Amino acid sequence: MEKFKDIKSIPACIPIMNVDTDKIIPKQFLKTIKRSGLGKSLFYEMRFDEKGNPIQGFVLDSEPYKNSKILITGKNFGCGSSREHAPWALVDFGIRVIISESFADIFYNNCFKNGILPVVTDEKTIKELSEYSSRKHSIEVKLLDQLIIYGNKSYKFNLDPFKKKCLINGLDDIALSLEKIKNIENFESKMSQTKTWI
């Protein structure tokens, strides 16, 4: 997993509540186990009509938001099924930070395992950040300091220290296991010597 660095970007805003994982990446795109290539189908039903033609005006297909690394969303983002393809699609599109008043629990935890920082903030801050989006002004997210900086204001967000460490060091579940590879190898060696029937 790529190490998380400070992000400065014009944020894109999708102010819709209860955006579920099927809306983020529809079921017909779940046949792959590859993490790449899903970005083109992100929010497919909001971006394309039934014939696959682009729907005019969708924020992530408009300048300058098509290059946004920060997404501002409505409450309860990522609800529905637990599909990990949802954060895969967001990362593949280029989204590294999602800011919302609340997230579905499984989606929230899947974000950290895939290099996305989900930030929970209050309604007032969401409104202020959305204004920066509409004015096409950049905001900055500093993970180490746990700050969102916008203009002469800043918002300090809460974050679990272990999840923060994983993002900073680019540690997904596999990388965390590999950190203990010597202990695993020592255990297997002892088991093979003391319990030869295994």
Which amino acid belongs to residue 47?
R
Instruction: Give the CATH number of domain 7-171; options: 3.40.630.40, 1.10.3860.10, 3.30.530.20, 3.20.19.10.
Output: 3.20.19.10
**pLDDT tens track for 44-78:** 999 999 898 999 999 999 999 999 999 999 999 99
**pLDDT tens track for 101-149:** 999 999 999 999 999 999 999 999 999 999 999 999 999 999 999 999 9
pTM (2 d.p.): 0.87
The ranges assigned to domains in the chain are 7-171
| H-helix or E-strand spanning residue 97 | strand 97-100
pLDDT of residue 183: 72
Q: Could you give the angle at the alpha carbon of 127 between the alpha carbons of 123 and 128, nearest 5°?
A: 120
